[in-house]
Chain A
Amino acid sequence: MKNVFAQDMKHTTFSWDNIGNITEGRGDLGEDMPVLVYRLMQYTMLDELAKVYGIDRANEHFRNAGYLAGSEFAKNTLDLSLDFNSFLAALQKSLHDLKVGVLRMEAFDPDTGEIVLTVGQDLDCSGLPITNETVCYYDEGFISGILEAYTGKKYDVHEVDCWATGDRVCRFNGSVVAD
């Protein structure tokens, strides 16, 4: 039997609506879940991708996924018409409220679009064992997606530093990609 009312969409193609109604769907359990579960899924997936495609390509896929997430997050939850400082304040609050991390600006050049920011208590990496490898590819993509959605310009974002002070803080440099 075929369900003729089934909607013609697939979960392998992301759309904001496909996130679904979490409040309704999760009833008593609600919208929150431990970071443990998030990282369990993230690093097992990275493990599998690295095995299949190699580490570099796996990281690249993670960055692309982060870009898609940042782009959709900005378009669907943030007011893109605000001035830069107001937008930044809203973004900081949103990332804090959603417990993604503590975003802090270090520098922004309005002429060139160059940006330096840090993310503390990061969802992806804070508390990870020190392995001397960059792990925040997903964050790189996430931040570039947000910046592009707001500025309309394509951003190249790279994590330039990570360090541990009990929690982990990551510094990212962003620059506008020339057309």
Chain B
Amino acid sequence: MAQDNIDRNNLGFIGNLLCEYLRDAIYKPNEAHLDQSLLPEELRAFASGLEYFAECVMEINDLAKSLAKGDVVRAKVPSRENEMASPLKSLHSSLSHLTWQTTQIAKGDYGQRVNFMGEFADSFNAMVAQLKERRDALTEEIKNGEEKTKALEQSNSLFEAVTSCLHNLIAVVDIENSQEWLFINHPVEQFLKRRDLMPYLFKWVTDQVGQNEDIHSESATELELPDDEKPQYISVERYPLRWYGRDAAVFVLTDITLEKMRYLQLENYAYRDALTGAHNRHYGMEILGKWLYEGVSFMICFIDIDYLKYVNDAYGHEAGDSYILLVTDALGAFGSDANICRLGGDEFMLLLKGWDQEAAEKHLEGIRNGLRRQKASPNAINPYSISYGVVSVDKSNTLAPGELLAKADEKMYVYKRAHKISRTGDASKTTDKI
């Protein structure tokens, strides 16, 4: 009976000892300690097994806590002897691999595929596949964009090179709303600034845009720019253009001043008399033909300089030329609208609009009388003088230009014969050729 009491006391002590150890292992694992020397020899193997079990549970608990906090990388993994931890270690390994895969995906490796956790893996892999598709699409888009950018850069480079070399001045103007200058190539800017013509040209272009209803079609014109020293001539070609979604017009401006000056010079050679600056026969006949074609009313006057041959012979050609210039200047009294043409030698043709025959003849008579009061020199024996014939032309005219001129010439001779004057100025005594 006593033995039973002792055993019972020992069993109570051992039970408390083991129970205390288990409680600590569960609630205060850092303080859990089992002093096997307090146990009978027969229970020490059991105690070792209990300690192993408790340590396994503690290791599993530590790892589970780490995984619960998401601390996969720094989690303390149970020792290899802890076979109870195998499922949890396997979970940790899978999560570690998943972490690595996710890191690789974040770096752009969309070849990673997760084969862990069923539906999660399906969704995750679908997400990665979508990311890859988007990345590929973006990459393609970027590649296309880069190719387009490269092509545009090349085109732009070529455009800039060409426009900077061109003598043409190119400006693009918004014709929709703002009439803003959308583009202006470098030479234009330099040209306009140098001559301070920017405001003038800007106004001209915007006026074109504002007034011309046909602004959407092509056109070409010439523009004379004001300049203190000499006029500037610009040819302007206009083309419609869509510029960044806006209706615009391209103005190609070319400085044609030199060409224009040459043209005017050639025109001068072609249409002007070198000595007097009056129009020549060719120009006069052109104007005559044009007016006849148009059917307008006008006066054609044939004028002959009296005694020019005599002045040339008696006083030299310089005096003769001065005589011709004097007559030309006198005819200028008809005003700037009159077309004064030197037909050759001592003959002039005068084409007058807005004059009637009587007024023209009266004006010519006044010029004749004015000339007669002058002489080639103080000792000259004859005065200056002209003879003239005036023919009125209206839209009923049927005569050709040459016939009209001949008719005026004929009238001039009638006048000359009727108003014969001598070299001394006496109209009744001369028989000399005049």
Taking Cβ atoms with an 8 Å cutoff, the residues of A that contact B are 85-86, 89, 104-108, 116, 118, 130, 132, 161-165, 169, 171
Contact = CB atoms under 8 A, between A and B. Distances in A.
B83 A104 contact: no
Contacts of B96: 106-107, 116
Contacts of A105: 97, 100-101
A161 B86 contact: no
11 contacts: A105-B100, A106-B97, A106-B99, A107-B100, A132-B81, A162-B80, A163-B80, A163-B89, A164-B86, A165-B86, A171-B93
Nearest to B100: A105
B109 interface: yes
B111 A130 contact: no
| Interface of B (DSSP majority class) | helix
A165 B87 contact: yes
Given A85-B109, A163-B85, 4 more contacts: A85-B111, A107-B73, A118-B93, A165-B90
A114 B269 CA distance: 96
A130 B83 contact: yes
Interface residues of B, number: 20
Nearest to B116: A104
Contacts, number: 46
Contacts of A89: 111
A133 B109 CA distance: 37
Contact of B86 (A104, A116, A132, A163): A163
Contacts of B83: 130, 163-164
Contact of B77 (A86, A132, A161, A165): A161
Contacts of B100: 105-108
B116 to A, nearest CB: 9
A169 B111 contact: no
A104 B97 contact: yes
Contacts of B107: 85
B106 to A, nearest CB: 12
Given A106-B96, A169-B93, A171-B93, A161 B80 contact: yes
B104 interface: yes
Contacts of B80: 132, 161-163
B93 A104 contact: yes
Contact of B93 (A86, A106, A130, A132): A106
Interface string B82-118: 0101110110010011011100100101010000000
A106 to B, nearest CB: 4
A130 B85 CA distance: 14
Contacts of A106: 93, 96-97, 99-100
B97 to A, nearest CB: 4
Nearest to A168: B86
A85 B108 CA distance: 10
B81, B85, B101, B104 pick with most chain A CB within 10 angstroms = B104
Nearest to A85: B109
Contacts of B81: 132
Contacts of B97: 104-106, 118
Contacts of B87: 165
A139 B84 CA distance: 25
A89 B86 CA distance: 27
A169 B77 CA distance: 14
Please provide the 8 A-B residue pairs with the shortest distance between their CB atoms, ordered closest to farther. Answer: A106-B96, A163-B86, A104-B97, A85-B109, A165-B90, A165-B86, A105-B100, A163-B89
Nearest to A86: B111
Contacts of B111: 85-86, 89
A126 B339 CA distance: 120
